[in-house]
Amino acid sequence: NYPYPGGNVYGGTKAFVGQFSLNLRNDLIGTGVRVTNLEPGLCESEFSLVRFGGDQAKYDATYAGAEPIQPQDIADTIFWIMNTPAHVNINSLELMPVSQTWAGFAIDRNRG
């Protein structure tokens, strides 16, 4: 949900998934099928290692000084979502480690 420099394609795919989830929920109304868009923040996983082409130093720098969410945290959240009463739908849920926030606005101070 939060833009960052160089994140155009990644952000676009996230927007697609969000809209797809909303439309899917509309299409499934009355079926009892629930749809949740789970939006994790900084999570320590092999995704970053793949993203950086196997560069361990970049992977390590991603998590340096932070306590990222762990895959088990996401699994526990999914378990909670799935165990809510059948009449409850969690439409969207964003989770981040307490050490993370969004970057805020970027300001180019070099323009005259």
| pLDDT bucket at 110, cuts 50 / 70 / 90 | confident
* Catalytic residue list: 10
Share of the chain above pLDDT 90, in %: 71
Going through the chain in order, the beta strands assigned E by DSSP cover 37-40, 92-95
Per-residue pLDDT at 30 exceeds 80 = yes
Q: Is residue 16 part of a domain?
A: yes
pLDDT, average across residues 36-44? 94
Distances in Å between the alpha carbon of 7 and those of 4, 15, 70, 77, 107?
5, 12, 22, 26, 17
Phi, psi of 78 (to 5 degrees): -60, -40
Residue 25 neighbours by CB under 8 Å, 6+ apart = 35, 89, 91
Return phi, psi of residue 81, to 5°: -60, -45
> What is the pTM for the complete model shown?
0.82
- Provide mean pLDDT across the span 60-86: 96
Helix (H, G, I), strand (E, B), or coil: what is residue 93? strand
Residue 107 counted as domain residue: no
Number of structural domains (the chain) is 1
We report the CATH number of the domain holding residue 57 as: 3.40.50.720
